[in-house]
Amino acid sequence: MTVPDKEALRRKYVMERDKRLRPDGNDQYVRLTGRLAHYLDDPYTPRDPREPKTDHVTVAFIGGGFAGLVTGARLKEAGIDDVRIIEKGGDFGGTWYWNRYPGAQCDTASFVYMPLLEETGHMPTEKYAHAPEILEHCRRIGKHFGLYDNALFHTEVDDLEWDAARSRWNVRTKQGDAFTAQFIAMGTGPLHVPKLPGIPGIQSFRGHSFHTSRWDYSYTGGDPSGAPMENLAGKRVAIIGTGATSVQCVPHLARACGELYVFQRTPSSVDVRDNRPTDPEWFAQIATPGWQQRWLENFTANQTGGLAEEDLVMDGWTDITRRVRSRIMAIPPEEFTAKRMREAWEDSDFEKMEEIRARVDSIVKDPETANGLKAWYRQLCKRPCFHDDYLQAFNVPGTHLIDTDGKGVERVTETGVVAGGREYQVDCIIYASGFEVGTEYTRRAGYDLTGRDGVRLSEYCADGMRTLHGVHVHGFPNAFITQPTQGANLISNIPHNLTEAGRTVALTIKHALDNGYSEVEPSKEAEDAWIDLLLSGKPLIERPADCTPGYYNNEGRPSPRARFSVGHPQGPMAFFKHIAEWRTTGDFQGLDFR
Ligand code: NDP
């Protein structure tokens, strides 16, 4: 490959970024309330009326996705049986309950992505399992650990209030439940509130429309396992958005639709996927006791720049770090400075992105379409995608890339979608427009917490998130959060963060119960010290300022609160080591039990 003109690339990246910067940031999207609320209806499970709960449980967990499942499993293993998971969907699964669009599959290798494989004895059938298998695995965990017994589905928490006199939380839901829990834990995920572009006319469209996270198979035909969507034959379909979701479902739509219009504002970088079925003989060899923990640690070490002897997963994620590492290792010792390391990283990135752009040319036959599909930014500015059929879909007759050159679709009419001043008449609009990310946590969760002395969580974290280990919050006794931020912050494999947080939560609750404590809470000093440690770090490699806007950088409008959205200053490996040692010592440093 020829050496790229780095200055020209830098200028091009800035130019492309500038086209997309908008003053309205996150406000460019609309919430699905009022007349748009029907976009949130559950198309998968009918609602079953039930009597409201007014009882008491030991642990209430909000969210029935991976976070709730892995924490529930660890609680059950610890002998804590009285666990109630509250979930807004009609079953366990979280992301995998809602996202059943055709082609959905995990982007991180199943062996490290799917939690509790060893405990449940499941062998993923593919390196990157498809959504139905992952959803089934969620159900498997639920059954294996008895989590269905006390679960409340199609239930949304409305309010959580600490009752100091009785050392318990009052839990109220939109379904009329009003029960108490000694402990509450939350794992509501970062991407669960669908959003639509805030463009005029969405409500005027007279054809059919839905969001990708509520796929309407009754309209399209087919099913989540990839059966052909026969009802789309001869139909004109628009899909708005070209993020990770669109990349996975466009190949299926291209095969099914009469005409498919793919409306693009920013192209995704799409690298090689190389999926393959799992060989059971190979799996039997690797699946020796402790295998999944070894794989998790190996992936994290490779993906975050640690020095692992081998790379068990070997994929696009670990390739990114392998390349950067080898560039950095090639710097002569006398020139080893932070500046040279940043240059080495940039060189590696230019090389990778040039490869990804060359891949577009090698696959897409129409040169104009190929040009439109090239991503002009650094690979980690936006979510990297990996797919072996997406680019090929643009060679299918009837599939059209409508590149809006960074501007986005303008409006929706009664009969179609307008972009670049032209109306495209369609029968159906599919919104692959993503999920709310940069908005307030309490807005996305749908509830706030009222902790000790009536302080609300939204008030306490008004200037930025404050926790100990990303799990415990001062002033909110017996409450736990399971998520990556202020912990490992390992973005390439979220379940690893959740698995560790689940262990921490279960051990803490067990310690309180075994010793007759009614409350546990982090001290202010411990929480402050943790935040100081987090803020002391200055990553050698930061997301550059010339990144194109998206949810990774709050739509190009950095928020002052973002400085708190960090992980351990020495990286994910250091956090996982720290928290494992913290758990092993058994003295729960930083937590007050009473
Ligand atoms: P994204 O937020 O990544 O993508 C939304 C898309 O809609 C973007 O292409 C965006 O363009 C586009 N868009 C928004 N407004 C307009 C407009 N007015 N006109 C035209 N286009 C518009 O959502 P996704 O659902 O694709 O993915 C969300 C996240 O979910 C991923 O980043 C990933 O973390 C996760 N995911 C994971 C998968 C996996 O692991 N297998 C699969 C799918 C998703 P622009 O880029 O310009 O903002």
CA of 186 to the centre of ligand 1 (A): 25
- The residue contributing the CA closest to ligand 1 atom 41 is 106
181: nearest Cα among 30, 77, 62: 62
**pLDDT on residue 555:** 80
CB-CB contact of 385 with 107 (8 Å) = yes
- The residue contributing the CA closest to ligand 1 atom 24 is 434
DSSP string, 288-308: -TTHHHHHHHHHHHHHTT---
Q: Which fold has domain 56-192+437-593?
A: FAD/NAD(P)-binding domain (3.50.50)
**pLDDT on residue 38:** 86
Give residues with Cβ within 8 angstroms of 16, minimum separation 6.
Answer: 376, 377, 406, 548
**pLDDT on residue 542:** 61
**pLDDT on residue 563:** 86
397-417 burial: b if 16+ Cβ within 10 Å, else e: eebbbbbbebebbbebbeebb
Mean pLDDT in consecutive groups of 10 residues from the start of the chain, 594 residues: 81 93 84 83 93 98 98 98 97 98 97 98 98 98 97 97 98 98 94 90 94 97 96 98 98 98 98 97 97 96 83 89 88 89 92 97 98 96 95 98 96 97 97 86 86 96 95 98 95 95 98 98 98 84 74 79 89 96 96 98
The total number of residues shown for the chain amounts to: 594
CA of 431 to the centre of ligand 1 (A): 10
Tokens of 148: 């269905």
Q: Which numbered atom of ligand 1 lies nearest the CA of 266? A: 47
CB-CB contact of 229 with 256 (8 Å) = yes
CA of 179 to the centre of ligand 1 (A): 37
What is the distance of C-alpha 538 from the center of its chain? 24
151-175 burial: b if 16+ Cβ within 10 Å, else e: bbbbbbbbbbbbeeeeebbbbbbeb
Q: What are phi and psi of 131, to 5 degrees?
A: -55, -45
**pLDDT on residue 321:** 87
**Protein residues with CB under 6 Å of any ligand 1 atom:** 20, 105-107, 191, 197, 199, 240-246, 248, 263, 265-266, 383, 404, 408-409, 432-435, 550-551
Helices (H), 378-519: 390-393, 441-445, 457-460, 494-514
Q: In this structure, which amino acid lies at residue 509?
A: I
**How much is the pTM?**
0.96
Q: Name the maximum alpha-carbon separation found in the chain.
A: 72
Specify the CATH architecture of the domain 6-25+194-273+344-431.
3-Layer(bba) Sandwich (3.50)
Cite the residue boundaries of each domain of the chain with CATH code 3.50.50.60: 6-25+194-273+344-431, 56-192+437-593
